[in-house]
Amino acid sequence: MIVAEQKSFDEISKMVESFDKVLILGCNECVTVCLAGGEKEVGVLATSLRLLRKQGDRPITTLEETVTRQCEWEYLDQIEKLAEEADCIISMACGVGVQYVAERFPDKWVIPALDTKCAGGSVKHGQWEERCGMCGECILHKTGGICPVARCSKRILNGPCGGSQNGKCEVKDVDCIWDQIYKRMMALGRMDQLLEIEPEKNWSKARDGGPRKLVREDVMIG
């Protein structure tokens, strides 16, 4: 899933200070699971904004809604009337959702309430870690199901580097993922695979090649 984190309240409140009626729009997908932009977080942000603005001479009216997915037009169609009522929309979705909302409601000012962090998962309650680098060409079959693109600080494809010390990374306080890859391959009896040198990766399939677009004519309708 996409992992996101709420911006500081101070930052959000500054972005909405010139608006009197806002629609706070949550998303029921990834950001609900990572506790950043679901129905509950919408409620807390709305109440917080009202509490702040009630103390001044410019109270704020909040409209609250959470849609199934902000990254699909059909769900945004359902909030058309709410959006019309509001001066601006605070999207509590990832960057994708924010852009869909902005595109669907071109005359509305849209504010992002979250910082989108990575494609990852929850390793325990309250802790999320990056797992996929979205490089566009998966190599997990070569590395025992552990991704060096997303989880090695240097994205090394033939690791580990010389900075791997006692299973820890030299760049930041994380496990050396190449150490993990070696341990797993050893356990699986596939160490010989690691002797093969991985050639340079075609990064043009990743974000480095520009914005990516997928077209599948077989599933197109209409």
Partner 1 sequence: MNEFQPKIVAFCCYFCAYSAADLAGSMRLQYPPTVRMIEQPCSGRIDIQLILQAFEDGADGVYVAGCLEGDCHFLKGNFRAKLRVGQAKKVLDDVGIGGERVEMYNLSGSMGPRFAEVAHEMHERIKNLGPSPLNKTAASAPLPAAAGSE
Distance of alpha carbon 213 from alpha carbon 194, whole angstroms: 33
Shortest Å, Cβ 68 to partner 1: 22
Contact criterion met (CB below 8 Å) for 82 and 61 = no
Size of the site for partner 1 (CB under 8 A): 13
Contact criterion met (CB below 8 Å) for 148 and 133 = no
| CA 206 remoteness from chain centre | 16
- Helix/strand/coil for 129: strand
Residues listed for the chain: 222
Out of 48, 99, 122, 153, the only residue in the binding site for partner 1 (CB under 8 A) is 48
Of the two residues 44 and 191, which places its CB atom closer to partner 1 in the complex? Answer: 44
Which residue has 């760049």 as its token pair?
171
Helices (H), the chain: 9-15, 30-33, 39-54, 73-77, 80-85, 95-104, 148-151, 177-187
Shortest Å, Cβ 50 to partner 1: 6
Out of 7, 9, 109, 121, the only residue in the binding site for partner 1 (CB under 8 A) is 9
> With binding defined as CB under 8 A, does residue 47 bind partner 1?
yes
Closest to 117 (Cα-Cα) out of 104, 127, 126, 130: 130
Which positions from 16 to 45 touch partner 1 by CB under 8 A, shown as an x/- string? ------------------------x--xx-
Shortest Å, Cβ 46 to partner 1: 10
> With binding defined as CB under 8 A, does residue 51 bind partner 1?
yes
Shortest Å, Cβ 2 to partner 1: 23
Out of 50, 190, 207, 212, the only residue in the binding site for partner 1 (CB under 8 A) is 50
Contact residues: partner 1, CB under 8 A: 8-10, 40, 43-44, 47-48, 50-52, 54-55
